[in-house]
Amino acid sequence: MNDVLSVSGYSKSYDGRNVLDNISFVVPAGRIVGLLGPNGSGKTTIIKSVAGVMSGYTGTILVDGGPIGVHSKNVVSYLPDKSCLSAWMRVCDAVDVFNDFYSDFDKNKANELLGRLGIDIRAKVTRLSKGEYEKVQLVIVMSRAAKLYLLDEPLGGVDPASRDVIIDTILTNYSENSSVLLSTHLISDVERVFDSVVILKDRQILICDDVDAIREKYQKSVDELFREVFKCSVSC
């Protein structure tokens, strides 16, 4: 099985403070991998580096066998943790922009998914609810035929009723030859889709293993283990 993503010896500092130290993990093809850790543990930093929008780190990141650059950006579909749609856009404008920009974007698929989710494509993105906005961004990202989908907190501002819809959208819209790296603090909601997880603590990887192996070794779910490790009462 080929590795879509390989991170080796990755370290990153901000203002002289080391926030990640010697991180190494791989994401094989056809896998959904959870990137977990409390706020400030470096999840977004890693995802931004893989997406090619953050530099200044040491170590090696390989996407589809090559370094971060033109090719990696062509095969990575990135959902940031912040809004990525311009205020002037209607939903259909956002679809058109992505269709013009990415050769692997499937406009018919995007419009079909938006219709299935009850999103009015003529609506201005500024008039959408938080949940609708999150769905639009996710649909656009998942409508590319990418090799690696980077999803940074895709459930962050979504109501519980919408989370299953978003999770199902992720599950049904990536191929067996592509992979997903998903960061979240809502582990109980999304744990069922993970094949494996990378858990960050104190600048390093605490656990990197298959979900089934973790459950067998610790006799508890990933969410239960996470809460125990970080002493979380609600979320981290």
* Nearest CA among 74, 72, 181, 82 for reference residue 137: 82
- What's the whole-model pTM score? 0.92
- pLDDT per position in the chain (236 positions), as tens? 589 999 999 999 988 888 999 999 999 999 999 999 998 899 999 999 999 999 999 999 999 999 999 999 999 999 998 887 889 999 999 999 999 999 999 999 999 989 988 899 999 999 998 888 988 999 999 999 999 999 998 877 677 777 787 788 888 777 778 999 999 888 988 898 999 999 999 999 999 999 999 999 999 999 999 999 988 544 45
Going along the chain from its start, the domains and CATH numbers come out as 3-230 (3.40.50.300)
